[in-house]
Amino acid sequence: MIRINGVNKFFDDFQALTHIDLEIGRGDVVVVLGPSGSGKSTLCRTINRLETIDDGSIYIDGEKLPEEGKELARLRADVGMVFQSFNLFPHLTIKDNVTLGPTKVRKMSKSDADKLAMELLERVGIANQADKYPAQLSGGQQQRVAIARALAMKPKVMLFDEPTSALDPEMVNEVLDVMTDLAREGMTMVVVTHEMGFARKAAHRILFMADGQIVEDTDPESFFTNPQTDRAKDFLGKILH
């Protein structure tokens, strides 16, 4: 579903990604771990071209990510992204936040988009909030709206960049539960998170990044019980104790 070949990414003369080669299969749930500044967000952002790349190529479901233009907009719509900050439109109701993409980008009729929005809001457990505005919802509820909004584009891949990091602790699980359901339903997911419980339970695969490189790529059990590199051991030591 995702193929990344020989990707390098520079910010001026600072190299943020170094020779990334990665294949992610359909339905795979990949958790990306690593210290702050290791390139996790940059990797996610290159996958839907929020960042350009300097070398290499990225394919989504067999199609090469174009540089720009209509084709890019179309392919980018195949990749849903959920950020730490929910970025909902404050002046739109919850339902209209979800219908905006389908009507504008996918050219869906308003009535079909409304129906889809209500199904998705039901799925993330907030259908009863559909007519409210974002500021009237808790952070956990807003992040579930952001997930519903991304799903409304019927993406082939969902990227999550620290989706629970801005939430009060009591709201983390309601968001992780939605993500766990999505994983079970077979969505291809790339998740940057510090939630080790989620990583252990939901991930099929762990990527550990350091200094812009993928330094470990293994299953969760192996990663957590038997990390291979000093960087990973050091990271786990800090995060688990």
Tell whether residue 193 is a contact of Mg ion (CB under 5 A): no
Instruction: Answer for the pair 29, 205: CB distance below 8 angstroms, yes or no.
Output: yes
Closest approach, Cβ 41 to Mg ion, in A, equals 3
Rounded CA-CA distance 50/129 in Å is 30
Q: Which residues of this chain interact with ligand ADP, rule CB under 6 A?
A: 11, 14, 16, 34, 36-42
Element (H, E) at 115: helix 110-123
- 3-state SS assignment for residue 21: strand
Task: Please name every residue paired with 60 in a beta bridge, in sequence order, or none if there are none.
Answer: 2, 63
Q: State which residue, 33 or 94, has the beta carbon closest to Mg ion.
A: 33
Give how many residues touch Mg ion by CB under 5 A: 2
User: Which of ligand ADP, Mg ion, none does 42 bind, CB closer than 5 to 8 A by kind?
Assistant: ligand ADP
The interface region with Mg ion, picked from 35-43, 88-96, 108-116, 151-159 by CB under 5 A, is 35-43
User: Which of ligand ADP, Mg ion, none does 37 bind, CB closer than 5 to 8 A by kind?
Assistant: ligand ADP
Q: What residues numbered 136-155 form the site for Mg ion, per CB under 5 A? A: none
Among 38, 41, 46, 141, contact with Mg ion (rule: CB under 5 A): 41
Reference 82, options 169, 142, 125; nearest CA is: 142
User: Which of ligand ADP, Mg ion, none does 153 bind, CB closer than 5 to 8 A by kind?
Assistant: none
Instruction: Answer for the pair 212, 15: CB distance below 8 angstroms, yes or no.
Output: yes
The structure tokens listed for 73 are 């907009």
Question: Distances from the Cα of 106 to the Cαs of 49, 76, 96, in angstroms?
Answer: 19, 12, 15
Q: Which residues bind Mg ion (CB under 5 A)?
A: 40-41
